[in-house]
Structure 1
Amino acid sequence: MSQVLVIESSARQQDSVSRQLTAEFVRQWQAAHPQDRVQLRDLAREPVPHLDADLLGGWMTPAEQQSPAEQAALQRSERLTAELLTADVLVLAAPMYNFAIPSTLKAWLDHVLRAGVTFKYTDKGAQGLLQGKRAFVLTARGGVYAGSAMDHQEPYLRQALGFIGIHDVQFVHAEGLNLGGEFAQQGLLKARQRLAELAPAA
């Protein structure tokens, strides 16, 4: 039995394509892996604060010297990191906002990319500590950006996940959604076809 952690980051609840893709992925995954447990964290409903002095203090200040705010920030980071550590499969759902990921997803990453916990520094450089995990990234994009210099989603997420040891990463892009007509229909159809291939085979 595997633990699947799903991270939603779309600011929209209704009419969100990334949420539609997530729902389809989870249905297909559970049909293929009925014993697996799925945990959902919705960063729009429960936003994670951005990196601030309290969180930095919680990480860097000895426990007996931490302020209440630093303790609370550290506990939040510990909780989010524990969810990631216990997951076997990570699903990130992200619309493209201004060529990149939502700031809420960046804030989540800032809480879980932690030296000594999810990666460590060695004399040969940084080493990820989360080997053996898999990730699926489901994106929704108004235009067509895959493989172009304007795509700052996939390269960043590949680097961030690889930095903590997650190298088995599959991307599913629903592109051209704001171009209307055939472009939007084909973009969504291709994404759904890719989902149908990935979830049962994973």
Structure 2
Amino acid sequence: MALDGIRIETERLVLRVPRIGDFDRFAELLADEDAARHIGGHAPRAAAWRRFLQQPGAWLLQGFGMFSVTDRDSGLWLGQLGPWKPEGWPGNEIGYSFHPDAWGRGYATEAAVAAIDWALERLGWDDFIHCIAPENTASKKVAARLGSTFLGPGRLPPPYEDLPSEVWGQTAAQWQDNRKRFA
């Protein structure tokens, strides 16, 4: 698979396969206690490096992973979002995490619409979920804006099995209806 050719553009954003140049901003995200609390917790730079490699590895081995989301004009890395399904995961996830300076600008919703369309078309998924920490109200708002609903408590695989998680989601058919509000 030619990963360099995978690129989605929205009005303000570019979604593409992660690159080494994205790491510094990713490390900043994981260094921020508040920003990292719902995505596996704070990590120093060396540990952030190992976590950063998960997405390029997923792309190479599974043919998909979370996209790096960048500002279309400046190229600044804003976060990561997209299809994610590690071993033992409770479903086909569209996950997201953004650098704190990108919060509150609608980037997650804008990027998610494009990534969901891509995942359903390219990966043939019949449904998708979002695994959200119960106290993460901002992520729940994004999921609800996308039309996802609370499906119940979830159980993540080790090493996250003790972290509470809510599963939000929808079917591909529901997305086709929900997608109309973003046209």
Between the two structures, name the one with larger relative contact order (CA 8 Å, sep ≥ 6): 1
What band does the TM-score fall into relative to the shorter chain?
A: 0.3 to 0.5
Please give the TM-score of this superposition, normalised by the length of structure 1. Answer: 0.32
Instruction: Please report the TM-score for the alignment, with normalisation by the length of structure 2.
Output: 0.34
